[in-house]
Amino acid sequence: MSGGLAAGRLGRLHDVLAGYVERGAVPGLVALVSRGGDTHVDAIGAVAYDAPAPMRRDTIFRIASMTKPMTATAAMICVEECLLRLDEPVDALLPELANRQVLRRIDGPLDDPVPAERAITVRDLLTFRMGFGALLVPPDTYPIQTAVRELSIGGDGPPTPAAGPGSDEWLRRLGSLPLMAQPGERWLYHVSGDVLGILIARATGQAYGEFLRERVLAPLGMDDTGFCVPPEKLDRLPTSYGYDDPHTGKPQVFDEPTGQWSTQPAMEAGAGGLVSTVDDCLAFSRMLLGKGRYDGRRILSRPSVDLMTADHLTAEQREDGSVILDGGGWGFGMGVRTRRDGFANPGQFGWAGGLGTTAYADPEEDLVGILMTQKLLGAPEAGCLFEDFWTSTYQAIDD
C-alpha cells in the first residue's frame, strides 16, 4: 500500500452521494474516507426532510449494530485482564443462562426442549454462536419468535432503547426461553451482543456504559459516543426515518431528536444502543488497524485484535446468516471479508448499523470508510447507496 486519496475521484464520490440526497433517498449524510494520514469528510444535505439545518461533520447518529465491535473490544479487555476467559462457561456470572434447554427443532413448541449439550462460553457470545438470536424469516413464523416479541428481548426489529426492561430483567426473560440451537452450532445474529454487555458489567462490577467509557471511548477521544445524547448536544442528533409510508410514499419518522436516545436507557444494550460520529468511529477503526494502539495509547494487544478480525465460522455455521453476512465471515462482534467478490480486499473488517450507518477498515489498503445516514438500511435505495459509497471509495485510492 502507498499513496493517499485522489482529489478528483473524491469529487466523483461527492457527486454520487449528493445524487441520493437530491433524489430524496435520504435527507442528508456524512461520509468519511481515510487512508494513512489523508482523511476526507463530506457532509451533505439536512438533518431532516423538513428542516433547513445542514448535516455537519460532528452530527451524531444512532449507530445501532455498529455498537457490536465496540462491545467485543470491551469484552477482550476483560479477557486480557483475566476477568473473563474465552472458553469458560458464563454460568457463574450469568446464572440465568445456566442449564440451558434447546428446542428440538426451530418450528417446535417451547415446552418440549432437550438439554443443552454444553454450557455457553464467552467465545460463543463473541462469535454469536450462543444458540439464540434473530431468525431471518418473517415475524411469527415460529413460536420462539412470538415469545421473543412478547418478552421484548429484541433482535426482531430496529433498536428501541426506551421500550425495554433493565439488564437483569431482560436476562431473566431470555433465560426463561429455550435456546434455538445447541451452543456453538449456528451463527445467530444480535442477541449475543446484549448478553456480552451484561457479562462485562458483572465481571467488572461496573455499569457496562461506565466500563466502556473508561476503557475504550475516553482513551480514544470518542467524546460523542454513548448510550444517550445529553441535552446540550441534542441539536446535533438528526431525525431518524424508517420505511416510507406504503400509501403516501412519504418517509415515516422512526425517532425524533428528543426521542428514545435523549434519555439514559434502562439497559445499555451492547448489541445496538450507541450513538456516535464519523470522527469517533474513525478513531475506533484506526485503533483496530493499528493492532490495538491509537495515538500512542494501547487499548488492546495485537493478539486480541488478530482474534477479533479473523473469521471464526465454518460454512455450516454461517449458512443461515448468509443474507446478513453477505458471503463473508464473522470475527468477534464484527464481519470479516473472506474472499474478494468486490473492490474490498479479503481481511476487510467492520460492520453496519440497521438505522443507516456503516464503517469498515481494509488493512491491506490502510483504508477506513464510514457512511452515516439517518434512514433505515432496508429503505428503498439504501442498498444501492451503500454499495455506491464503497465502489466510489475504492476508486478514490491514489497510488
Mean pLDDT across 199-219: 98
In the block, residue with C-alpha cell 433524489: 23
Q: Give me the pLDDT at residue 381, please.
A: 80
Can you tell me whether residue 122 is helix, strand or coil? helix
DSSP state of 299: S
Is the Cβ–Cβ distance between 340 and 209 less than 8 Å?
no
Q: Give me the pLDDT at residue 76, please.
A: 98
* pLDDT tens, residue by residue, 16-64: 999 999 999 999 999 999 998 899 999 999 999 998 999 999 999 999 9
Within 13 Å and on the Cβ side, how many CA atoms surround 395? 14
Residue 84 has pLDDT above 60, yes or no: yes
- Per-residue confidence at 2, pLDDT binned at 50, 70, 90? low
Alpha helices for the chain (secondary structure H)? 7-22, 67-80, 122-126, 143-150, 167-175, 191-204, 208-212, 278-289, 302-308, 315-318, 322-325, 382-395
Residue 1 has pLDDT above 70, yes or no: no
CA distances from 101 to 16, 61, 193 (A): 51, 38, 20
Q: What is the percent of the chain with per-residue pLDDT over 90, rounded to a whole number? A: 87
- Per-residue confidence at 248, pLDDT binned at 50, 70, 90? confident
- Per-residue confidence at 395, pLDDT binned at 50, 70, 90? very high
Instruction: Give the CATH number of domain 71-209.
Output: 3.40.710.10
* pLDDT tens, residue by residue, 273-310: 999 999 999 999 999 999 999 999 999 999 999 999 99
**Amino acid of residue 281:** C
Mean pLDDT across 229-256: 93
Q: Give me the pLDDT at residue 398, please.
A: 82
**What CATH number matches the domain at 4-68+223-398, 3.40.710.10, 1.10.1060.10, 3.40.50.2000, 3.30.390.30?**
3.40.710.10
Handedness of CA 338, 215, 284, 197 (dihedral sign): positive
- Per-residue confidence at 3, pLDDT binned at 50, 70, 90? confident
* pLDDT tens, residue by residue, 154-178: 998 899 998 889 999 999 999 999 9
DSSP state of 310: S
Each domain of the chain, given as residue ranges in start order, spans 4-68+223-398, 71-209
Give the chain's mean pLDDT.
95
Q: What is the pTM of this model?
A: 0.96
Are both 4-68+223-398 and 71-209 of the same fold? yes
DSSP β-ladder status, 4-5 and 251-255: unpaired
Q: Between vectors from CA 360 to CA 373 and to CA 259, what angle results, nearest 5°?
A: 30
Is the Cβ–Cβ distance between 189 and 124 less than 8 Å?
no
Q: What are phi and psi of 345, to 5 degrees?
A: -85, 150
Mean pLDDT across 124-132: 98
307-332: b or e for each residue (b if 16 or more CB lie within 10 Å)? bbbebbbeeebbebbeebbeebbbbb
